[in-house]
Structure 1
């Protein structure tokens, strides 16, 4: 008979419904049962793509004898860490405090009130090395609970105090004056230099194996490169090549050599721009090194085995330093962040040389990743969480990578004439085959004498490579496929919607085909794999999907809000602001999961709405008033003033069981809640909410002033800018010491220095702006109130460039627009 997990919204929990273990879900009733029986909680925390979670489940949780021991002496609780990230974070802190390390599956023994007193990760069915058998652990913990209760109580008391202190250890240690303002250019230069200290010149990325895709740091370096004048058109209107570049306020050594010449001008003059970064070695000049590290890292990932060369998308991480052998699960958030990064990369490469090999590679990654998100990681109304690493091999045994690897005999069917080949790495020694990669891309990028034009296509565009992909895809399609975790996580879904919308904006979705007012510049700005060829159908699909998934997400939030308003919820909502919104952490089949949305869920939802609102198909659907309401409620629920003036931000609202609210500003696999909120308020400030919510014309998204709450009305642009800087100011203490842990925040701090918005209704000019690396936001109007309080209109066929409240005169040609953006 199935246990109560059969009714869970989590596919991971439902997979344990037929275990002989009498699993319970994380509820007050479960803890009350443990108290009534006077037995400990045995809390097992995992997620669907966790390989060792599956191993432990098969070895122990499916074993009748082990299950009997668990059921008799404990109340077993199963938690999906992705549905309840705050509970996972709480117990992960306990695990790390007790053992000095963390990981999943997480095995926690706790009192009936939830206080942990013993913790571990994977335990084998029989003693192995230094690990005791799981049954030995169960017996020892049970005996301790029964015979040494005083010691358990003393330990839990110490742990409870320690965990409460750990919840906001970073932010509570910061002096108020360190957090009042965002980071300066000099501080951001230092952060970029500190990050580059850990750069791997041979294989890209940062640090050693295992290597995780460092996309937030890539975005940080791209923004630093733009700020330091890397993409500006040097020498226009001046005899001094450096004088046309934007002032940055950063260190002089970052921008210019001893003779005042900008390093990028020197690179161009020496003819090195086309192959700069192909060998991965840094130069010691910050502006150049930012570009080199980005090019090397993204090219190595794009050509390696961690990147699926057959269907697109990237895996969770690389087991080796070379990006050859992946840990095969594919997570939505990794691919969303990768798509955001390669879109930003393409903008930079297009500004440097619209016909370069680097741009072609960046646009290949945009197209393959966006299409992979839609084909493999989506349902009818949103993006799913993940694809598993394991699947059944030909013998019917679950095996990591079985769906993805090839034997040399299998690969021979695809031929050897194309780009793809099998890589041989010691890290893949336990796999049943080898991983396909495209390592010759690196050689191609560095070969100055190998042309790239219509008659000499990129190596992935030749017929032999196309045939390789087709044959290998057919081989894979005949195999057992990895399981799909089909829950829709609000934070991750929003990240992917944002990324897909950015890809659609870059590729010109909705743009007119005639090239706009200045066809000469328009022609020069094409030439990549997407924008110069037949990518319009893909682009339109990306835009349509982003709009459709945003609409579905918006409806879920409002439907959940209506339900919360019409019935007393299990845990009373701390409702303020608009009562029509209730951001839940996850949904499965339209049913809300157990977790309330955290700060990251709210923030990423707002960012997705702002980004979709910039699409021609999304402007009428996304209401600025709703976004302002969401932001006002988010800030009210998750932020508060510390006694000394520091703006605190908690990641979660608590669930009434474990009341500790974490406040961790450090990025992990996804942006921290704090840095995600900084991006949301940064973009919302650029929308010009003062005018947008006063009944003015549309501002890239539709106004909804009449529906705005009192809190929203008070959330003007000035307040948003203040909150943005105070959210980012916390990272002053982390930027130079741990830049790898705050890449997303550093990216936002770079953008906050000089945000640029372009107001235009002209599709051709919108496309030029959407592809420019300096642009923060596209709008239909300036966001600056006129004398009557309404937004200043933009004349038809023109564009206006605004920096803060300072806006240019209208311009009507692409050349004029580019000159304004390059300033």
Structure 2
């Protein structure tokens, strides 16, 4: 019989709806029940594409004996971290502080007052590698709760106090911090260079995650300062990822991370946020260098989004699972959809082409049981053979059981996809990508925006989820809308972005310090209000909001929005030189601030080729964070376009900083020189 998760909008929660565990969704009812029964709460946090979440579910949560014990001694609460990033953030901080590591599934034991007192991640069904079994953990925690309740209360209180102290390191407790300057960015570049992998690209060792926000900063730093070191680190990292197994050489798109330091063997889940961010990174690398590989990767990643992640409603699903059914064994296995053996290649291609494919794609047993993840370490010597082999393998792979899809729509990640697809469509002459971005943005407006103008975090099948949007939802959705305005000239997107950013100023900002919180001031109160300026897999909501506020100020001349952006960016001066890999988006926004950002106003009759040429050139500019406004002469809806006449009757472009403009130009080449754009 299904438990309480059967009606959830989260695919992850629905995966547990038939467990014998008597799961509760997060909410006051679960904690009231724990209080009524006098038992602790077991909080289990994960997400639908998480491999080890599936493993623990199969080993423990589907086990009738374990479930019977768990139901008798605990109230079990299951949370989708992608639906409730605030819950995940608060308790993950506690897990990391207590154990020095974190991950999913996250397993936390709480008092009925939501205070954590014991932590872990994955627990095996039997003792292994020094880890206790899950049943042993349940029994040990239960004994402590029963026999040493005072000790449990003391631990819970100490952890809560420690979390409160951590909030003072940055944020409201730190006061107003100085703006980042040239010295801060130079020191950040030096610190980052010390962790750069000269041989394999990327930063640090295994496991290696795509450093999307860091590369975006490096490209902006190169554009502003001419730093060849910044461009080299960005280019070599992008090249290594594009050639490695982390990139799907057949279908496009990137896996979540590589388990090794050489980008060979991925953790196979494919996330919307990674691919939206990397699409934009490769697009910007192409914009900066004109490199054909960067253009190809951007297009293939865009096509992956449209083919594999687009939902019937026009939004984008969250992820594809790492696991899929392996027909050879009849069991699910990580990477079964993507890996190949030489024998499988021969079966599909025949002996001659299979021999070429083994060499071309490095099929040398890099994964498990003699199979390989495909790599493309050198450009194919025979492009026709490459195209033929790739097409045949793609067609054959399409007959394999595909990974499951987490088809919930997350506002923030769809905002990132809107920005990437809109910009890619404009720069690469693919209007279908712009149309896809508009349709996703329309879904966010129609389904995720409430009648009060607030954002909801998720939807599924066009049905809004119950959870309030967090800061990254507002910031990344505003970023998507602002990019749509730059690409289309449709002022409704600028207006919608302004409305979202007004809510950021009103509900997420600390007035005294300018620091930003991850949740609104009227959101559910957890044991502490989450607040984190550092990037994780996505830009932090804090610095993403700073970037959107700065862009909006550049369009409108609003000093209120610019001041809010500047105050929020003070945290970059505190963290940039110490942890540049974890505040890459903040560093990228700081580059825009130091550059102005530059404002490009393009005025001219709609549909006229001369107007379109100036607009395309403006969008190809590499000046960090440059904003592009497009409109008819005499329009007054967008302040940046006000009082910008034609030039001798011809369409014109004005390049400005703080609304102070250079002489207008009607020449695209002249405009390109002013904003660092490559010309065809």
Is 1:541 the counterpart of 2:432 in the alignment?
yes
Q: 1: CA distance between counterparts of 2:524 and 2:128?
A: 39
Q: Could you tell me how far 1:291 is from its partner in structure 2?
A: 1.5
Alignment of 1:592-607 (within 5 A): 592-607=464-479
Contact 2:478 2:496 in 1 (8 A): no
Is 1:679 the counterpart of 2:547 in the alignment?
yes
Specify the SS of the correspondent of 1:779. strand
CA deviations 1:369-405 (Å, max 9, x no partner) are 1111111111122011100000111122110000100
* Alignment correspondent of 1:568: none
* Alignment correspondent of 2:667: 813
* Alignment correspondent of 1:322: 262
* Alignment correspondent of 1:504: 425
Q: 1: CA distance between counterparts of 2:283 and 2:634?
A: 25
* Alignment correspondent of 2:607: none
Alignment of 1:255-654 (within 5 A): 287-350=227-290, 359-380=291-312, 381-394=314-327, 395-412=329-346, 413-414=348-349, 415=353, 416-417=355-356, 420-424=360-364, 428=367, 430=368, 433-441=371-379, 459=380, 462-508=383-429, 539-558=430-449, 561-562=450-451, 579=452, 581-616=453-488, 619-620=489-490, 622-642=492-512, 646-653=513-520
Q: Could you tell me how far 1:763 is from its partner in structure 2?
A: 0.4
Q: Could you tell me how far 1:657 is from its partner in structure 2?
A: 5.1
Question: Residue 642 of structure 2 is aligned with which of 788, 791, 794?
Answer: 791
Gaps of 5+ in 1: 231-286, 351-358, 442-458, 509-538, 563-578, 691-716
Is 1:723 the counterpart of 2:582 in the alignment?
no
Q: Could you tell me how far 1:224 is from its partner in structure 2?
A: 0.9
Q: 2: CA distance between counterparts of 1:370 and 1:8?
A: 30
* Alignment correspondent of 1:41: 41
- The 3 A distance-change label for structure 1 pair 425 and 218 is farther
Q: 1: CA distance between counterparts of 2:113 and 2:336?
A: 42
Q: Could you tell me how far 1:432 is from its partner in structure 2?
A: 5.9
When structure 1 is superposed on structure 2, of 604-613 and 432-441 the one drifting more is 432-441
Q: Could you tell me how far 1:820 is from its partner in structure 2?
A: 2.7
Q: 1: CA distance between counterparts of 2:409 and 2:382?
A: 34
Q: Could you tell me how far 1:75 is from its partner in structure 2?
A: 0.7
Q: Could you tell me how far 1:168 is from its partner in structure 2?
A: 4.8
When structure 1 is superposed on structure 2, of 473-482 and 160-169 the one drifting more is 160-169
Q: 2: CA distance between counterparts of 1:74 and 1:489?
A: 31
Specify the SS of the correspondent of 1:772. coil
Is 1:58 the counterpart of 2:58 in the alignment?
yes
Is 1:738 the counterpart of 2:585 in the alignment?
no
Q: Could you tell me how far 1:433 is from its partner in structure 2?
A: 1.6
Contact 1:401 1:431 in 2 (8 A): no
Contact 1:501 1:612 in 2 (8 A): yes
Contact 2:60 2:125 in 1 (8 A): yes
Contact 2:365 2:371 in 1 (8 A): no
Q: Could you tell me how far 1:473 is from its partner in structure 2?
A: 1.1
* Alignment correspondent of 1:216: 213
* Alignment correspondent of 1:187: 184
Q: 2: CA distance between counterparts of 1:588 and 1:727?
A: 33
- The 3 A distance-change label for structure 1 pair 554 and 627 is same
Q: 1: CA distance between counterparts of 2:415 and 2:294?
A: 23
* Alignment correspondent of 2:608: none
When structure 1 is superposed on structure 2, of 5-14 and 499-508 the one drifting more is 499-508
Is 1:656 the counterpart of 2:548 in the alignment?
no
- The 3 A distance-change label for structure 1 pair 171 and 785 is same
- The 3 A distance-change label for structure 1 pair 149 and 6 is same
CA deviations 1:281-311 (Å, max 9, x no partner) are xxxxxx2211111111111111111000000
TM-score norm. by structure 1 comes to 0.77
Q: Could you tell me how far 1:772 is from its partner in structure 2?
A: 2.2
- The 3 A distance-change label for structure 1 pair 552 and 175 is closer
Specify the SS of the correspondent of 2:420. helix
Larger Rg: 1
Is 1:666 the counterpart of 2:587 in the alignment?
no
Is 1:198 the counterpart of 2:195 in the alignment?
yes
Q: 2: CA distance between counterparts of 1:495 and 1:31?
A: 35
- The 3 A distance-change label for structure 1 pair 423 and 189 is farther
TM-score norm. by structure 2 comes to 0.92
CA deviations 1:489-528 (Å, max 9, x no partner) are 11111111111111112114xxxxxxxxxxxxxxxxxxxx
Q: 1: CA distance between counterparts of 2:106 and 2:185?
A: 37
CA deviations 1:316-357 (Å, max 9, x no partner) are 00111111110100011111110111111111103xxxxxxx
Q: 2: CA distance between counterparts of 1:683 and 1:783?
A: 22
Q: 1: CA distance between counterparts of 2:571 and 2:321?
A: 36
Calculate the aligned-residue CA RMSD, in Å: 2.2
Gaps of 5+ in 2: 605-610
- The 3 A distance-change label for structure 1 pair 364 and 384 is same
* Alignment correspondent of 2:143: 143
Q: Could you tell me how far 1:798 is from its partner in structure 2?
A: 2.0
Question: Paired residues, what number?
Answer: 654
- The 3 A distance-change label for structure 1 pair 338 and 613 is same
Q: 2: CA distance between counterparts of 1:301 and 1:790?
A: 40
CA deviations 1:665-712 (Å, max 9, x no partner) are 111111111100011111101212x5xxxxxxxxxxxxxxxxxxxxxx
When structure 1 is superposed on structure 2, of 463-472 and 789-798 the one drifting more is 789-798
Q: Could you tell me how far 1:721 is from its partner in structure 2?
A: 1.5
